[in-house]
Amino acid sequence: MLHQTDALDRVFHALADQSRRSMVERLSSGPASVSELAEPLDMSLAAVVQHVQVLEACGLVRSVKRGRIRTCRIDPSALQPAEHWISERQILRP
Amino acid sequence: MLHQTDALDRVFHALADQSRRSMVERLSSGPASVSELAEPLDMSLAAVVQHVQVLEACGLVRSVKRGRIRTCRIDPSALQPAEHWISERQILRP
């Protein structure tokens, strides 16, 4: 239960930022390197790496480093608890 | 577009806290006063009021004060943009 609570805190926090959501949107169409994720964003590579770390902490993104390239991919199953929580509230819409 | 972005930032931020989610869960079963929302939570009334303000800022809770009692009710339609954003990602699950 506590674990689930922490997971929801983390995933909702990760989604509460437009830059991180745009990274997730980009990864929805396929894996990308950190540099590719940074390309459309007006921020440093270091800032992008920090955002990726937040997305990794909630399990929404996984990354693998080969040589100098870190490739990120999405794991949409990490969204399930959040989707479930929201849909439970929606059932009760007046 | 920017408005939608801000709305998503606010609602996901509001949901990234277990206390606020528990208030929303409570309000799903009907309106409640701030004191009633505070009852099961281990925090001051002032802290509860601050959480209510975060929930009001994203439109998820509306409150009316009559005399000394502030009554809160949920507006689950404020969850729709968040639900929509998540479900768009889920479609793309591998």
- pLDDT (tens digit, 9 = 90+) per residue, A25-81? 999 999 999 999 999 998 999 999 999 999 999 999 999 999 999 999 999 999 999
Compute φ and ψ for B24, nearest 5 degrees: -65, -40
Rounded to an integer, what distance in angstroms lies between the CA atom of residue A30 and that of residue A28? 6
ipTM of the complex as predicted: 0.90
Token code pair at residue A5:
């609570």
Q: Which residues, numbered 34 to 53 in chain A, qualify as contacts with chain B under a Cβ-Cβ cut-off of 8 Å? A: none
| Burial call A14-48: b when 16+ CB within 10 Å, e when fewer | bbbbebbbebbebbeeeebbbebbbeebeeeeeeb
Query: Tens-digit pLDDT profile for chain B (94 aa)?
Result: 557 779 999 999 999 999 999 999 999 999 999 999 999 998 999 999 999 999 999 999 999 999 999 999 999 999 999 999 999 987 654 4
Q: How close B4 gets to chain A, by Cα (Å)?
A: 10
Q: Structure pTM?
A: 0.91
Select the residue of B5, B16, B28 nearest A12 (Cβ to Cβ).
B16
Name the residue among B89, B31, B23 with its Cα closest to residue B58: B23
